[in-house]
Amino acid sequence: MKLHVISTGRQSREELCTRVAAIEPMIDFFHLREKQWSASEIAGTIDALTELGFPTEKLVINDRVDVAVAKAVPHVQLAGHSLPVEEVKRAFPFLNVGCSVHSMEEAITAEKRGADFVLFGHVFETASKPGLTGRGLEALQRVTQAVSLPVTAIGGLKPENVSRLQRSGASGAAVLSGILLADDAEEAVRRYRYRLGRR
């Protein structure tokens, strides 16, 4: 399973880049998802990561297709408020385009519209969505069985529950604060990798 790390919206550019660069050898993808940042701030962060040696092929830019294209980042992740996936694929066929989905029906629609991968969640209860129960592993399995796309699970993932995702057909696990806000981000990545069967 691939290990995806997603920015939390709670760190400065400097702290974020330092932490992400340190864990780069142990992760598969880093999603830059800073909803309050301007295009120039996102572009500057890409530049800072690149200067620290982070490979652009491991970067996924959330929502800002324009920044991804301008900075030659090959992966974008679209949310519900983003441009429609079919328009992005038509204008930029070289981009690898993912969609955030919350149901089997949304995943099927994303695949029909040309998405290359989906993020499904939230699987487990998470502090970022207080009062909302997780959609669960059965819902995750329904999604993975309904589409041929890679499905990355997100939401409430901890080292002790992440290994259960593979039995539901997930191809990846996406983690935010569990890694980037941990006291020791590198040790946190090692714990997730161990539970995912990655050494």
pLDDT tens, 62-76? 999 999 999 999 999
| 122 is an active site residue | yes
CATH for 2-195? 3.20.20.70
Closest CA to 172 of 4, 52, 54: 4
4, 31, 75, 122: the catalytic one is 122
87 phi/psi in degrees, rounded to 5: -70, -40
What 77-82 contacts at long range (C-beta under 8 Å, 24+ apart), as own/partner pairs, is 77/31, 77/33, 77/119, 78/115
* Confidence label for 132 from pLDDT (cuts 50, 70 and 90): confident
The rounded distance, in Å, linking the Cα atoms of 96 and 114 is 10
pLDDT tens, 48-105? 999 999 999 999 999 999 999 999 999 999 999 999 999 999 999 999 999 999 999 9
* Confidence label for 199 from pLDDT (cuts 50, 70 and 90): low
List of residues 6+ apart from 184 with CB closer than 8 A: none
CB 176 within 8 A of CB 16: no
List of residues 6+ apart from 150 with CB closer than 8 A: 2, 116, 117, 118, 171, 172
58 phi/psi in degrees, rounded to 5: -100, 0
pTM above 0.75, yes or no: yes
Where do the domains of the chain lie?
2-195
